[in-house]
Amino acid sequence: MFQVYLVEPDMQLNHLLSLYLQKEGLITTSFLEGEKAIRSIDKNPHLWILDRETPTIDGFAILSEVKSKYPDIPVIMISEQNSTIDRIVALEMGCDDYLSKPFLPKELVLRVKKILEHIHGSVKNLNRIMLYADYKIDEIVRIVQKDEEMINLTSKEFDLLLLLVKNLYRTFSREQILKYVWNDVHLGSERSVDDLVRRLRRKMKKLRIESIYSYGYRLLPNQVLNTKGCGTVISPNEDAKGLFR
CATH number at residue 76: 3.40.50.2300
Is the model's pLDDT at 228 over the cut of 50?
no
**Distance, CA of 151 to CA of 189 (rounded, Å):** 26
CA distance 150 to 143: 7
Residue 152 lies in a domain: yes
Task: Give mean pLDDT, residues 37-41.
Answer: 89
The tens digit of pLDDT for each residue in 133-166 reads: 889 888 777 889 998 789 999 989 999 999 999 8
- Per-residue pLDDT averaged across 89-105, rounded? 93
Q: Is residue 165 part of a domain?
A: yes
**Do residues 7 and 19 touch, judged by C-beta distance below 8 A?**
no
The residues near 40 (Cβ < 8 Å, ≥ 6 apart) are 5, 29, 31
Query: Is there a single domain that holds both residue 7 and residue 115?
Result: yes
End position of a domain, from candidates 66, 87, 120? 120
Decide if pLDDT at 229 tops 70: no
Residues 87 and 137 in one domain: no
Task: Clarify whether residues 20 and 97 are in a common domain.
Answer: yes
| Residues 106, 42 share a domain | yes
Percent of the chain with pLDDT over 90: 49
Q: What pLDDT, on a 0 to 100 scale, did the predictor assign at position 202?
A: 96
Q: How many domains does the chain have?
A: 2
Instruction: For residues 89 and 198, state if they share a domain.
Output: no
Length of the chain: 245
| Mean local confidence (pLDDT), 1-7 | 87
pLDDT in tens, 55-71: 888 899 999 999 998 88
Q: Is there a single domain that holds both residue 58 and residue 138?
A: no
Q: How far apart are CA 32 and CA 191, in angstroms?
A: 50
| DSSP H helices in the chain | 11-23, 34-38, 59-69, 84-92, 105-120, 155-165, 174-177, 190-203
Q: What is the mean predicted confidence (pLDDT) over 71-80?
A: 92
Residues 99 and 60 in one domain: yes
ω into residue 55 within 30 of 0, thus cis? Answer: no
Mean pLDDT, the chain, rounded, equals 84
Q: How far is residue 208's CA from residue 205's CA, in Å, rounded to a whole number?
A: 8
User: Cα–Cα distance between 108 and 99 in angstroms, integer?
Assistant: 8
Whether 33 and 110 share a structural domain = yes
Strand 149-151 with 143-146, pairing: antiparallel
Final residue of a structural domain among 120, 137, 165:
120
Q: Is residue 23 part of a domain?
A: yes
Beta-sheet strand order (sheet of 27-31): 27-31, 3-7, 47-51, 75-79, 97-100
Would you say residue 231 lies in a domain?
no
Q: Are residues 112 and 133 in the same domain?
A: no
Q: In which domain, by residue range, is 20 found? A: 3-120
Same domain, 110 and 135: no
- Asked if the structure places residue 239 within a domain, the reply is no
